[in-house]
Amino acid sequence: MQEAERPGRPSEDAERPGRPSEDADRRGRRPDTADAGRQDATDAGRPDAAEAGQRERRAIAQLLRFYRPGAGRWLPSTGAAWQLALAIEAVITAYARTRDPAYRDALTAWLRRHHARRSRFFDDDGWYVNAWLRAYAVTGDEAFLTAARAGFADLIVGWDDTCGGGLWWNRDRRYKNAITTGLFLLAAARLAQARPDDPTYGQWARRAWEWFDAVGLVNRDNLVNDGLENCRNNGGTTWTYNQGIVISALVELGRLTGSRVYLDRAHTIATTATAHLVHPNSAILREPNEPDCNQDQQIFKGILAQGLGRLCRADPTRSVGHLAVLTANADAVWHHARDRRDRFGLSWAGPPARVTPATHASATLLLGEVALTLATDAR
């Protein structure tokens, strides 16, 4: 991506999992309208775990059709290189629930091709570090952890004392933003749990959060702005993905430390995000500039869905409302944002309109979080 195209935060050989058998009958759809799926989440019907799983499998099958294994990039070329890490995360989520060996083979092949991937953007590299850490947590394969540790070591060079700490967005060192340090924080907290024998990871996790909180990237409304100007919150757009990454990071900090303080902050941000970053009079998530989203922004909502799903599984008793929001969005996506080929467009309220790898991956992340969370509840 060229810097001008990015929102101020601003390409793997893989065997494709065999296409799962589709549902015998597709559910009938309501008419595609701009108001589709706009209902109070507490009134939304909740799909059962089996139905949620079928939705995810069909979405994953289409997601993998967007990828050209031999070239190691998206087809068509409308998916940014960093977004492949989130496609990998979608497959990891599916594997965590199904243990489908074809998904496992795809993850191994992706690791083989991309384990040493680096770019001029520290945030881009942070997505891959976190994908490898999730793969390690789900598979137990040390090769994923090795790749993640090497990637994290290369992220550390982006941290300096300007503004008291934090990572630069890229190697030009002109902008510090929420997403880059958020990804670093998430990775550090995960590494601290994966390697408790190495105290430096936990130290980095605590240091990163202390800086993030002190510098004021979370505003008075409990939403995360984009970044800093003159070492202060720049009041930039409250992109959904910033909320999602910070929620995920706080969940991992809670696991690492055993302190509910971090979960409390995660719940506050989640509740605020799902009240404000939605379509009017609705629980359906919406990017602040939607429908005018660029290539990067098209995947953002799925990252917020990841954060919400992780919070639901970490603290289910207090997450009933968050799960209701997720299932309402999953229903809206399935019935109103899906085209006849099981591909998903930008607006989760529908209609599908133009589909890209990023819009489809975003919805697949959502459907995967719902499927995994409901499967966990059913156990």
Domain boundaries, the chain: 31-378
Given this model, what pLDDT does residue 67 score? 79
Tokens of 183: 């990804």
Tokens of 301: 């909502």
Strands 228-229 and 73-74 come out as unpaired
Given this model, what pLDDT does residue 366 score? 98
CA angle (67, 72, 77) in 5-degree steps: 55
- C-alpha 58/C-alpha 65 separation (Å) is 11
CA 365, 371, 377, 379: dihedral to nearest 10 degrees? -130
Given this model, what pLDDT does residue 365 score? 98
Given this model, what pLDDT does residue 138 score? 98
- C-alpha 320/C-alpha 322 separation (Å) is 6
Given this model, what pLDDT does residue 268 score? 98
What is the C-alpha R_g of the chain?
Answer: 19
Q: How far, in Å, are 80, 135, 183 from residue 243 at the CA level?
A: 21, 22, 12
Tokens of 276: 């404000």
List, for the chain, all residue ranges whose pLDDT scores fall below the cut of 70: 1-46, 68-79, 378
Architecture of domain 31-378: Alpha/alpha barrel (1.50)
- Please say whether the dihedral angle defined by the alpha carbons of residues 287, 293, 294 and 299, taken in this order, is positive or negative: positive
Three-state DSSP class for residue 157: coil
Query: What phi and psi, each to the nearest 5 degrees, are found at residue 378?
Result: -75, -15
Q: Which of 368, 323, 259 is nearest to 42 (CA)?
A: 323
- 177: which strand partners? 227
